[in-house]
Amino acid sequence: MTTPHEAVIGSTGLDHRKMGVWAFLGSECMFFGSLIATYLVYKGRSLSGPTPHEILNIPLTSISTFVLLMSSLLMVLALAAVQRGDALGARLWLFGTPFFGMIFLGFQVYEFATFVREGLTLQVNLFGASFFVLTGFHGAHVSVGVVWLLTLWTLALRNRLTRADALIVEIAGLYWHFVDIVWIVIFTLVYLIQ
């Protein structure tokens, strides 16, 4: 494998790409922070229903939350497998992680469809608008992560993912864990504390 640089380990001892992703995640904190703040500011300000406690299905979303958290566990296993050079483990866990992500997305699609059927839309009230925009952008982030991890999985299937590539798996993992953490915050603030 050739890289554009002679060395990508910089003055701080960190790889450029890893530091770049950390900077990106810092920026993403402000992005989701602003979306969450918008949701909280408009909490209870809707002029008409449906309201959160009428519509949110905590047991159902608890299951999808659990699946997403378990995907983080699989992500850890995937990275460990690539670092050990365990090709079988890498293939298994690099598929398992995005697969769990897809299950989460499936739950979200089902949830959105149900809410729309029950009368909660983007336009109907502020809760609908802020809820769909917040969770929708989170879902979009999960989707990007799923595509990213499936790309790594296809590399693993073709034996193109060696121990030397552990860093690119680690970086994908940083993103994936971040997206999971954001969901923990959303689940707590939107679903649990109504």
Partner 1 sequence: MTRGVWGWITTVDHKRIGILYGVTAFVFLLVGGFEAALIRLQLARPDGAVVSAGTYNELFTMHGTTMVFLAVMPLNAAFFNYIVPLMLGARDVAFPRLNALSYWIFLFGSLFLNASFFVNAAPNAGWFGYANLTAKQFSPGANIDFWVISLQLLGVSSLIAGFNFIVTILNMRAPGMTFMRMPVFVWMTLVTQFLIVLAFPVITVGLILLLFDRFFGTNFYNPGAGGNPLLWQHLFWLFGHPEVYILILPAMGIVSEVLPTFARKPLFGYPVVVYSGMLIGLFGFGVWSHHMFTVGLGAVVDSAFAVGTMLIGIPTGVKIFNWIATLWGGRIRLTTALWFALGFIAMFLMGGLSGIMHASPPVDMQQQDSYFVVAHLHYVLVGGSLFGIFAGLYYWWPKMTGRMLSERAGRWNFWLMFVGFNVTFFPMHFLGLLGMPRRIYTYAGGLGWDLWNLVSTVGVFILALGILVFIGNAVASLRSAAPAPADPWDGRTLEWAVSSPPPEYNFRNIPTVHHRDELWALKAGRAPVEAAPPPPREIHLPPPSFYPIVVAAGVVLAATGALTHLALVVAGALVVVFGAYRWAFEYRSSLGGGLRPPSDASPRGLRGQSPRSSGPR
Q: Between 46 and 85, how does the x/- string for binding to partner 1 read (CB under 8 A)?
A: xx--------------------------------------
Which residue from 40, 42, 58, 101 is in contact with partner 1, where contact means CB under 8 A? Answer: 42
Mark the segment that binds partner 1 (CB under 8 A) among 83-91, 99-107, 123-131, 178-186.
123-131
Cβ nearer to partner 1, comparing 30 with 88:
30
Cβ nearer to partner 1, comparing 35 with 77:
35
Please state the closest distance from residue 124 (CB atom) to partner 1, in A.
9
Mark the segment that binds partner 1 (CB under 8 A) among 73-81, 112-120, 130-138, 186-194.
130-138
Q: Name the nearest CA neighbour of 159 among 93, 80, 86.
A: 86
Q: Does 164 bind partner 1 (CB under 8 A)?
A: no
Q: Does 182 bind partner 1 (CB under 8 A)?
A: no
Q: Name the nearest CA neighbour of 79 among 18, 6, 134.
A: 18
Distance of CA 103 to the CA centre of its chain: 12
CB 130 within 8 A of CB 60: no
Q: Name the nearest CA neighbour of 20 among 34, 10, 33.
A: 10
